[in-house]
Structure 1
Amino acid sequence: MAHRHPLLGLGAAIASSAAFATSGAFAKSLLIGGWSPGAVVTLRITIAAVVLLLPTLWVLRGRWGVLRRSARLVIGYGLTGVAGCQLAYFYAVSHLSVGVALLLEYLAPVLIVGWLWVRHGHAPRRLTVIGVILAMAGLMLVLDVLGGMRLSTAGVLWGLTAAVSLVLYFLITAQVDEELPPIALAGSGLTVGAVVLWTAALLGLLDTTRGASTVVVGAASVPWWVPVLVISIVAAAFAYVAGVAAVRLLGAKVASFVALSEVLFAVLFAWLVLAELPTPIQLVGGVLIVAGLVAVRADEAREQSRAARAGVGVGASDEEDYAAELLPTGALSQDPVRHGP
């Protein structure tokens, strides 16, 4: 972007992470009460889409052309960042603790490094290699590979699926036309996600079983709609708008780095709402994963700074490289004059 505002972007990114982090704990109270992940995600996305409908229509006045130009990216955003990521994460939470599921999801930066190495031969630099090693060692501890703890294979696979979806979420968000307001992108993406989920439910492809009418949140028994409203309004409508704004203000790389704070917030909320904490060895693993991701991000920032001092153009960043490979052909150039974030 021509102008980025670090402090405002940092505030938006942290607010988005904290809001997103409430989803795991409050959604799991529904899952424990017999609600299927499909039902929880479908209600969450639908209510959030309805909440943002009028604001979306308002900000799109006179800008419908921008939405049409970004149609493929908006659809991709709805399929991956909204429906795909959240559905995979909630399925992971139904098999694993909130903290472990989220740590798996936030292996997304490591997946990007591995993909570029295998697919394009972009060998990572030394600090990135150290970061990947730390993250993988942390993953082994989180999964308790050497211990006696038994984790659900399905839960681990769903967590990794969420990680892939998260990669696409950040890349797509960074590539959408800057003239499309964050509320419009979030509202449109949520609408796409809701339509896809309801279509899958009506076709019998998605289990939307409803559970108990009363669920336990913390030490209290509350109606089912209380956690549903929390994960819909706070952890979806607000979180997605703030997340889009953060990526616009910080860029996809920095925003995805700050988003790691969601892991800490999620563990805190899981403790407060569910009295659920990872084991000590898993906490150590979580620290290693976060440290590894910090090393990867620091290496990228250092390389960009070195290139800038040397007078090398860095406009065509790795964000574009990732997006050119992962997004549909032609999606990066809805406007022939504008390329990249």
Structure 2
Amino acid sequence: MTITATPTAAAVRGPAIAAGVTVLLWASAFVGVRAAGHFYDAGTLALGRQVAASVALTIVVGLRAFRQRRAPSIPRGRVLVGVLVWGAAWFGAYNISLNAAETHLDAGTTALLVNVAPVLVAVLAGLLLGEGFPRRLLIGVAVALAGVVVITVATSTGRADATGVLLGLLAAVLYASSATGQKRLLSRVDALTMTWMGCVAGTAATLPWAPSLVTAVATAPSSATLTVLYLGLFPTAVAFLCWGYALSRTSAGRLAATTYAVPAIVVLLSWLLLAEVPVPLALAGGALCVAGVAVATLPTRRRGVRPV
């Protein structure tokens, strides 16, 4: 007789809802970055976004501490170093590379490139987290890379832009390594504390752009500044809290697979809000990327043995 523990509906529904919120907010971030990027350069936009998120998360952490009548549980030693490095990488370096990529590419094309990250997460999770390393992952990687090659020769302007593609791929690598590292750290730090500390670390990493942020806030139109605030409060603070909650309750590879929907949402939003649509060749390359990610990470359907 085989006895299999079945998770409750609430245990499945909670992470699924959190992942859905993250996907929608992260998709909107690509469009927001593209819009605000006309007035805020890559580093300035990253700092403004992190300042807004850090303030919001500090308030949330403070309210929780007041309610629980105790100070936040700050990790120490190697765990503390890991959280700070993770924050500087994802909230700092990832955002700068993403922002810079969108100065060369439209939002949809950038999202298609960054969407190869789940393949990298699956590889890293298999190597470092013991989540398995199926053979079909190699096939998926090959298909996704073929898609990247196609995107490389087509941007929104129809010209090859190697710089934008490389920056988009750098963002994907930072995303994948950060997601994998976060999974390991969440066993030692709760999601709220880790997100808060990581965001503060990302703010510190982008402080060299503080003078240009002051200038940009004074000169940019209010709509651009409000977009920066939106990016900090929702795609950063809210989305990363939801991501951390979901990641602590599911595998890194499976959660990363939920981001398949991001490029499609980004293309739709950028068409509606920015009147931008990737050229057909870029969309074809993006379809190859998504197909490769699906081949590499989606679980196969297996015949099970009914419990007796």
- Fold conserved between structures, TM > 0.5: yes
Within the candidate set 44, 51, 55, 1:46 is matched to 51
Deviations 1:247-300 (A, max 9, x none): 1122211111112222222222211221111112221221221111011113xx
> Secondary structure, in 3 states, of the residue corresponding to 1:250?
coil
Q: Are 1:213 and 2:220 matched, yes or no?
A: yes
1:241 maps to what in 2? 241
Partner AA of 1:251 in structure 2: S
Q: Are 1:106 and 2:111 matched, yes or no?
A: no
1:269 maps to what in 2? 269
TM-score (normalizing by structure 2):
0.81
> Secondary structure, in 3 states, of the residue corresponding to 2:277?
coil
1:29 maps to what in 2? 35
CA distance in 1, matches of 2:108, 2:120: 19
Deviations 1:30-77 (A, max 9, x none): 222x32111111000111100110212344564755522631221122
Deviations 1:147-166 (A, max 9, x none): x9323222122111111111
2:193 maps to what in 1? 184
Within the candidate set 90, 105, 108, 1:96 is matched to 105
User: Residues 1-341 of structure 1 correspond to what in structure 2 (within 5 A)?
Assistant: 5-32=11-38, 34-59=39-64, 62=70, 64-65=72-73, 67-68=75-76, 70-111=79-120, 125-144=134-153, 149-178=158-187, 180-198=189-207, 200-201=208-209, 210=216, 212-214=219-221, 223-298=223-298, 301-302=299-300
CA distance in 2, matches of 1:36, 1:229: 15
Aligned residue pair count: 288
* 2:72–2:193 CA contact under 8 A, matched in 1: no
Deviation at 1:201, TM superposition (A): 2.9
> Secondary structure, in 3 states, of the residue corresponding to 2:206?
helix
Deviation at 1:99, TM superposition (A): 1.6
2:3 maps to what in 1? none
CA distance in 1, matches of 2:231, 2:213: 19
Deviation at 1:114, TM superposition (A): 7.3
* 1:86–1:162 CA contact under 8 A, matched in 2: yes
Partner AA of 2:159 in structure 1: R
Partner AA of 1:225 in structure 2: T
Partner AA of 2:286 in structure 1: G
Partner AA of 2:220 in structure 1: S
CA distance in 1, matches of 2:125, 2:251: 19
Deviation at 1:97, TM superposition (A): 1.1
39-48 or 177-186, which deviates more: 177-186
* 1:48–1:190 CA contact under 8 A, matched in 2: yes
CA distance in 1, matches of 2:126, 2:261: 27
CA distance in 2, matches of 1:177, 1:115: 16
* 1:142–1:281 CA contact under 8 A, matched in 2: yes
TM-score (normalizing by structure 1):
0.74
* 1:39–1:208 CA contact under 8 A, matched in 2: no
RMSD between aligned alpha carbons? Answer: 3.3
Deviation at 1:302, TM superposition (A): 4.5
Change (3 A) 1:209 1:294: farther
| Gap runs ≥5 in structure 2 | 1-6, 128-132
Partner AA of 1:256 in structure 2: A
Partner AA of 2:22 in structure 1: S
Deviation at 1:109, TM superposition (A): 3.9
CA distance in 1, matches of 2:73, 2:229: 33
CA distance in 2, matches of 1:208, 1:95: 24
* 1:35–1:210 CA contact under 8 A, matched in 2: yes
CA distance in 2, matches of 1:252, 1:115: 9
> Secondary structure, in 3 states, of the residue corresponding to 1:224?
helix
Identity %: 22
Partner AA of 1:50 in structure 2: V
Change (3 A) 1:73 1:59: farther
Deviation at 1:190, TM superposition (A): 0.6
Change (3 A) 1:66 1:232: closer
Partner AA of 1:105 in structure 2: V
